[in-house]
Structure 1
């Protein structure tokens, strides 16, 4: 073979070997594609503590006989609320640990402080509400329309109770629900992967029903529709932005989207069923009409008593 041809063949072999080594090195440096995941333990603890400690305290407050706990001492609902104020920050901190977008340490501390303050304000207000229910207060009526409040002397005491309910229904809810939905949005921002979207696992479908039902409870009882819908819009915008980058929601992301969508459907059905109730309309004077389950429960009790 001619020496120049041998030289060209040798150069070609060296170039091919160099390209193969570079491609192998780049393949080693590239991280493997992330697999869709579903944090069953996280969502199980989130849903269980919400249903047992948050929804459970409301059920206990309405159903438990009044003579089981004296009015001068905390009841079973208050003790559940104590535990709720302890476990909720722990669950939110776990979500922040799993979120790829890390908040500054000061922001994390402020979120946890806000949650603790919000749950504390709600604890005091719910405790007073339980005592008012025992003496005959009706939650489907405003304070001025309640027969118990009409006999108060002096009448300016009604304003004191209105201040208490402001701490619960407005300030307490904002301090608790704003950090909650912010943490959920941050956690959702990391629920994406570079592969074809797969179906949710069976465990996720089982957890979907109680999780969506709890979001319905937050929206209706907590009157947090505006915060919820803005979070849902932000999640949808995040999905559209990530799709341009070739990313799709993983197991956790699909689970959160389905839970929020199902909760929105439940809220629409709830409003349609109670749309023609004039008493509940008077108790919801704002632009958004979403009756509270506690108010509906006490209204039905009063109607049964009258019949």
Structure 2
């Protein structure tokens, strides 16, 4: 969308796709390193299964997301359902629409579930080992404070675009409960734990601001009719910003 289309033709991966491919390699490696550094961990076989699920889910999402974003150039609108999209609803034969709905299911539901469940599970397991009885270790360096903003924005994007608020909020509640439980034992979060915990808090604030800002958007309300109303950034983009290009 930002770079010239001539650089990345529609029948080839986009720049974002290449970054996503790198993410699918780098992030599992970093998650393994987190588990290795944590004094509390999962059984080795469960760690392997979690990482495999993560890679599979992120890869499924990569394919579906790549196609969906390329469809924007053809007029696809993310704030509408698959069948309501002008470029989809008139396809012949109609069974093609089922194929696009299957692609959407793989991307938005199956891919996200396989991607985010092991991701947040590993983060939480790592968090359980981020406690110390030494107060001096419960201070974040300046570099961590500077990185907290980008980290929170990253989690905000994961939660909103991935539509995983329930998974996120349950993880956050589990973290809060663990903090209170460990406090009774005289343990406090170390700098790594504080960074993760505060990032989740700021993420919750960002989500709240996002929801309040778009609370009265009738079109997005129609796309997200459930009790939990958290619009996707890409839906907002195709509805309000795509005509600016």
TM-score band w.r.t. shorter chain: over 0.9
Q: CA deviation at 1:302?
A: 5.1
* Other structure's SS at 1:229 match: helix
Unaligned 5+ segments in structure 2 are none
Q: Is the 8 A contact 1:173 1:222 kept in 2?
A: yes
Q: CA deviation at 1:270?
A: 0.3
Q: Is the 8 A contact 2:61 2:111 kept in 1?
A: yes
Q: CA deviation at 1:78?
A: 1.9
- 1:91 equivalent in structure 2: 30
- 2:218 corresponds to which of 274, 278, 284: 278
Q: Is the 8 A contact 2:41 2:126 kept in 1?
A: no
- 2:47 corresponds to which of 108, 111, 115: 108
TM-score normalized by the length of structure 1: 0.76
Q: Decide which structure has the larger Cα Rg and report it.
A: 1
1:265-293 CA-to-partner distances (Å, cap 9, x unmatched) read: 00000000000101111111222111111
- 2:153 equivalent in structure 1: 213
- 1:159 equivalent in structure 2: 98
Q: C-alpha separation between the residues in 1 aligned to 2:216 and 2:192?
A: 38
1:177-223 CA-to-partner distances (Å, cap 9, x unmatched) read: 11111111111111111133644221221111111111111111111
Matched, 1:246 2:186: yes
- 2:74 equivalent in structure 1: 135
Aligned residues: 244
- 2:113 equivalent in structure 1: 174
Q: CA deviation at 1:224?
A: 1.0
Q: CA deviation at 1:72?
A: 2.5
- 1:298 corresponds to which of 201, 221, 238: 238
Q: C-alpha separation between the residues in 1 aligned to 2:211 and 2:29?
A: 33
1:67-121 CA-to-partner distances (Å, cap 9, x unmatched) read: 4322322222222222111111101001101111121111011011101101110
- 1:43 equivalent in structure 2: none
Q: C-alpha separation between the residues in 2 aligned to 1:192 and 1:129?
A: 42
- 2:207 corresponds to which of 255, 267, 284: 267
- 1:126 corresponds to which of 51, 62, 65: 65
Q: C-alpha separation between the residues in 2 aligned to 1:285 and 1:235?
A: 29
Unaligned 5+ segments in structure 1 are 1-61
Q: Is the 8 A contact 1:143 1:149 kept in 2?
A: yes
Q: Is the 8 A contact 2:139 2:190 kept in 1?
A: no
Q: CA deviation at 1:239?
A: 0.9
TM-score normalized by the length of structure 2: 0.94
Q: C-alpha separation between the residues in 1 aligned to 2:25 and 2:226?
A: 33
- 2:16 equivalent in structure 1: 77
Q: CA deviation at 1:65?
A: 3.4
Residue 149 to residue 268, structure 1, CA distance change in 2 (3 Å): same
Q: Is the 8 A contact 1:122 1:167 kept in 2?
A: yes
Q: Is the 8 A contact 1:66 1:134 kept in 2?
A: no
Q: C-alpha separation between the residues in 2 aligned to 1:254 and 1:83?
A: 27
